[in-house]
Structure 1
Amino acid sequence: MTDFQALGLNSHLLKTLGVLGFTEPTPIQAKAIPLALDGRDIMGLAQTGTGKTAAFGLPLIQHLAAQPGKPAPKTCKALILAPTRELVNQIATNLRAFAKGGPIKVNAVVGGVSIGAQIKAMSHGSDIVVATPGRLLDLVKRQAIRLDSAKHLVLDEADQMLDLGFIHALREISRLVGQPRQTMLFSATMPKQMSEIASAYLTGPVRVEVTPPGRTADKVVQSVHFVDGAGKVALLKDLLSADLDNLSLVFTRTKHGAEKLTKTLEQAGFATGSIHGNKSQGQRDRTLKAFRAGDIRVLVATDVAARGIDIPGVSHVYNFDLPQVADNYVHRIGRTARAGASGEAVALCSPDDFGLLLAIEKLTGLTIETASGTRPERGMRGNGPKRARGKGGKPAAAGKPSGKAVVRPFDPMKAASQRNRKKQRVKRARQAA
């Protein structure tokens, strides 16, 4: 009897897992699969690369295989939402592999490709639809799909969906999905707004946590190089040249920065490709295929790829630009050391980035080892919090309060302005990716 047998999976899935080489469940799978098979609502917290797709996908396939009849036209029996095209395609590919040889039909719904082809696919009905929220709502508005027949809802990488501003889309979709239903929410981190999502979507959920939120993968060796901004490119070239056979993933903060760095590395003789928001879905798919095959050895990406690349051969992740959101660091470096392998995560930190590094170290509870350069003094925070200022805009004297605390009445106009500024920041972050 295998360890997967003990979890309650049926003989067809056990045979498929054997063919795929799955022998021992990961901690999140061991804890979540029995609960999901019992129909419980689940909040699963685990670092990226720990097998969350199988944790919800295997029970889902077993539930649907036991239900009689095919899905009606323009309906689905289960809905899985994910934040990026790459992650949707990755989940759909894994589910098709798990369901191979059975009656379960899986369809992927993402932007950047022909909506006409997706409308046609939806017209025949689906057992499982894996979708990005925006394109799914486009199909709903065109009456290409109804969600009231879906009795299973999965939110994967829910924290990034919040980061990308999908909260309103998630609320709208939740109202359209059938009731009663089983809902499973999986995430690598636990931002404050997640409690609102959990209370709105889940009923009596069981919390399954195998890793503290913000913790990085155990087998990733992390280091940081302190370097002037102008010296980053030369340093990256030196690091990549140390072993040209590696598959390396390089993260930049913006689409423009990714494209500029890609051209620079290509001119230096590196086999390089890029994926970001300005690339069509076809371009992104072809680049990922070439990277997976080893035709491209260096892939430059924005955070659009941080949760959509599942390539076991990635040995190094380079943070050319540190992320503005510390949580994204965890997801970026989770692209290496997958499926039990080891890997390296290397950060390039300029003086202006030091505040971002401190935020990452606070989140992860680690002091990242210095590989080269000199770590700035603690007070030199770069993009971190600015020092309080006293009267006349002068810095407040060290050790002295900048003024008495003042309790101000609630100003609705000011609060609305703050909300609008936050929306604009989210919008700019999405455009930058």
Structure 2
Amino acid sequence: MAKFTDYNLRPELYKALAEIRFTTPTAVQEKLIPVVLQGRSVVGESQTGSGKTHTFLIPIFEKLDLKNHKVQAVITTPSRELASQIHIAAKQLASGFAEEDQPHIGYYIGGTDKARQISQLENSQPQIVIGTPSRINDLYRSGALDVHTATQMVVDEADMTLDGGFLPDVDAIAGALPADLQMMVFSATIPQKLQPFLRKYMNNPVIEEIPTETVIANTITNLLVSTKGKTKDEMIYQLLTMGTPYMALVFTNTKTRAKELAHFLRVQGLKVAEIHGDIQPRERKRTMAAVQHLDFQYVVATDLAARGIDIPGVDLIINDGIPSELEFFVHRVGRTGRNGQSGTAITIYDPDEEDRVAAVEGMGVEFIPKNFSKGELKDGIDRRRRRQRTKSTVKLDPTMIGLVMKKKKNIKPGYKRQIKSAIARDAKYKKRVEEREELRSKRKAKKNSSGK
């Protein structure tokens, strides 16, 4: 098993890694950190929570020329929350350097004071640029940010960048950089529509798809609970309060549903934070800061947050139904069970969502079925076992089907024998009908033959 000490990094980095208790690299880090240190361009495809951020940050800090006070690396990411995560991780690595040698990190996202940023850039340029594509490109086009001196560029969460419409901004930034640019692209998935961009800026990159035995990390206990007529609001409240989660995230499919659920939980006396598209950027930033400082134990969020936040210590995820985009299921659940810590994810579904649940299972997700009764989670029946039962090849009339499917709590003696006899009689009757029809067909054919 590899260790970070195998990479012969600068002492300042080992000091910083020790401070955040990083000793053993994850699979994607083990595969790609040595390659990035060699100066190769890479495409890293791995599941959420796999450690992609430090896969590119560690080599960037290792190769940084501290005496060169120009932009040396540009890191783009499609959401402000993700940019904030990377900025925090970068500051943690920078803390290992002596105060006079600490790398200058520029952090540029929408919703912040652009005029102030331009004024600061007139005095000095950052060595590492982190931010959202549109703001970085805006500062570059205004002539304030000299990205053209960078020799490394990271496109983080490339699939989200594409889906969010930010690829033109990333393209403009990359187009301003040197021809010998080291490009690093990281994502949970690499869509086909991203291929032209990759071919344009990457020459013979190292492509690593980090396989996993399961879609969901094995540190996560993945439970499946049917509502069975119960209201989701009350179920979620009881699931949140039946134990003592350190931090719980509840994901909803819509902003409206997030507002309704958060309101219900507050009425029940819980202190709940909301994170969704209707929360203004400044308010969302304040809320995230409060969540990070553990001012809230419960967070209700939409899929905006599924890949946009990293809250330490999340040990409980509740899915209020199956997400409209199945891929988001993995990202939701991936908010817990991170860095080797254990976590629990509970997915609540209505009976009419059976097909959606089956689709998630088709992605490789393995659920543990549970029933929720009297405030407790009890073992349930595996849905797949029911579907996989061998079906009879005998076609029955509707009356026979009704007889077979009829349920009685107290089955009378001989009831099963009665059903078997009825099935046998039905089959025998149908066989006689088929024989008569066959005999008629032969007679008709013979009659037509003799009349010719």
Please state which band the TM-score falls in when normalised by the shorter chain: 0.7 to 0.9
Aligned pairs for 1:277-288 within 5 A: 277-288=277-288
Query: Which letter does structure 2 place at the counterpart of 1:204?
Result: N
Take 1:353 and 1:117, find their aligned partners in 2: how far apart are those partners? Answer: 50
* 1:178 equivalent in structure 2: 178
Give the CA deviation at 1:13: 1.2
Take 1:321 and 1:254, find their aligned partners in 2: how far apart are those partners? Answer: 11
Give the CA deviation at 1:90: 0.8
8 Å CA contact retained: 1:42, 1:206: yes
* 1:253 equivalent in structure 2: 253
Give the CA deviation at 1:237: 0.9
Take 1:230 and 1:135, find their aligned partners in 2: how far apart are those partners? Answer: 46
Give the CA deviation at 1:98: 0.5
Query: Which letter does structure 1 place at the counterpart of 2:368?
Result: E
* 2:108 equivalent in structure 1: 109
Query: Which letter does structure 2 place at the counterpart of 1:205?
Result: P
Aligned pairs for 1:217-228 within 5 A: 217-227=217-227
8 Å CA contact retained: 1:45, 1:213: no
DSSP-derived class of the 2:260 partner: helix
8 Å CA contact retained: 2:326, 2:360: yes
Take 2:356 and 2:118, find their aligned partners in 1: how far apart are those partners? Answer: 43
* 1:43 equivalent in structure 2: 43
Query: Which letter does structure 2 place at the counterpart of 1:93?
Result: I
Give the CA deviation at 1:18: 2.0
Give the CA deviation at 1:362: 2.0
CA distance change for structure 1 residues 167 and 317 in 2, over 3 Å: closer, same or farther? same
* 1:325 equivalent in structure 2: 325
Take 1:215 and 1:193, find their aligned partners in 2: how far apart are those partners? Answer: 23
Take 1:142 and 1:256, find their aligned partners in 2: how far apart are those partners? Answer: 38
The structure whose Rg is larger is 2
- Correspondent of 1:99 among 94, 111, 115: 94
DSSP-derived class of the 2:87 partner: helix
Give the CA deviation at 1:210: 2.6
8 Å CA contact retained: 1:189, 1:214: no
8 Å CA contact retained: 2:222, 2:366: no
Give the CA deviation at 1:334: 0.9
* 1:193 equivalent in structure 2: 193
* 2:367 equivalent in structure 1: 368
Give the CA deviation at 1:228: 6.2
Query: Which letter does structure 2 place at the counterpart of 1:356?
Result: R
DSSP-derived class of the 1:305 partner: coil
CA distance change for structure 1 residues 14 and 244 in 2, over 3 Å: closer, same or farther? closer
* 1:86 equivalent in structure 2: 81
8 Å CA contact retained: 1:159, 1:191: yes
Aligned pairs for 1:330-369 within 5 A: 330-363=330-363, 365-369=364-368
Give the CA deviation at 1:338: 1.0
CA distance change for structure 1 residues 79 and 349 in 2, over 3 Å: closer, same or farther? same
Query: Which letter does structure 2 place at the counterpart of 1:116?
Result: A
Give the CA deviation at 1:229: 8.5
DSSP-derived class of the 1:221 partner: strand
Take 1:194 and 1:216, find their aligned partners in 2: how far apart are those partners? Answer: 25
Give the CA deviation at 1:352: 4.4
* 2:242 equivalent in structure 1: 242
DSSP-derived class of the 1:324 partner: coil
* 1:303 equivalent in structure 2: 303
Give the CA deviation at 1:305: 1.5
Take 1:352 and 1:109, find their aligned partners in 2: how far apart are those partners? Answer: 44
Query: Which letter does structure 2 place at the counterpart of 1:94?
Result: A
8 Å CA contact retained: 1:214, 1:330: no
* Per-residue deviation, residues 156-209 of structure 1 (Å, max 9, x unmatched): 111222232323333333323332210111112233334344323322111223
Give the CA deviation at 1:103: 3.5
Answer yes or no: is 1:289 the counterpart of 2:284: no
Give the CA deviation at 1:245: 4.0
8 Å CA contact retained: 1:46, 1:213: no
8 Å CA contact retained: 1:189, 1:327: no
Query: Which letter does structure 2 place at the counterpart of 1:189?
Result: T
* 2:14 equivalent in structure 1: 14
Which ranges in structure 1 are unaligned for 5 or more consecutive residues? 379-433
DSSP-derived class of the 1:347 partner: strand
Instruction: State how many pairs are aligned.
Output: 372
Take 1:213 and 1:122, find their aligned partners in 2: how far apart are those partners? Answer: 47
Which ranges in structure 2 are unaligned for 5 or more consecutive residues? 373-380, 388-452
Query: Which letter does structure 2 place at the counterpart of 1:107?
Result: G
Query: Which letter does structure 2 place at the counterpart of 1:115?
Result: K
Take 1:303 and 1:112, find their aligned partners in 2: how far apart are those partners? Answer: 20
Aligned pairs for 1:341-420 within 5 A: 341-363=341-363, 365-372=364-371
Take 1:306 and 1:313, find their aligned partners in 2: how far apart are those partners? Answer: 15
8 Å CA contact retained: 2:276, 2:304: yes
* 2:440 equivalent in structure 1: none
CA distance change for structure 1 residues 121 and 224 in 2, over 3 Å: closer, same or farther? farther
Take 2:114 and 2:254, find their aligned partners in 1: how far apart are those partners? Answer: 27
* 1:119 equivalent in structure 2: 118
8 Å CA contact retained: 2:76, 2:133: yes
User: Which segment is superposed worse, 158-167 or 267-276?
Assistant: 158-167
User: For the aligned residues, what is the CA RMSD?
Assistant: 2.5
Displacement over 6 Å in runs of 4+ = none
DSSP-derived class of the 1:303 partner: coil
Report sequence identity in percent.
34
Question: Which gives a bigger RCO, structure 1 or 2 (Cα 8 Å, sep 6+)?
Answer: 1
* Per-residue deviation, residues 14-67 of structure 1 (Å, max 9, x unmatched): 22222332222222222211111110011112222222111110100111236x
CA distance change for structure 1 residues 370 and 156 in 2, over 3 Å: closer, same or farther? same
DSSP-derived class of the 1:314 partner: coil
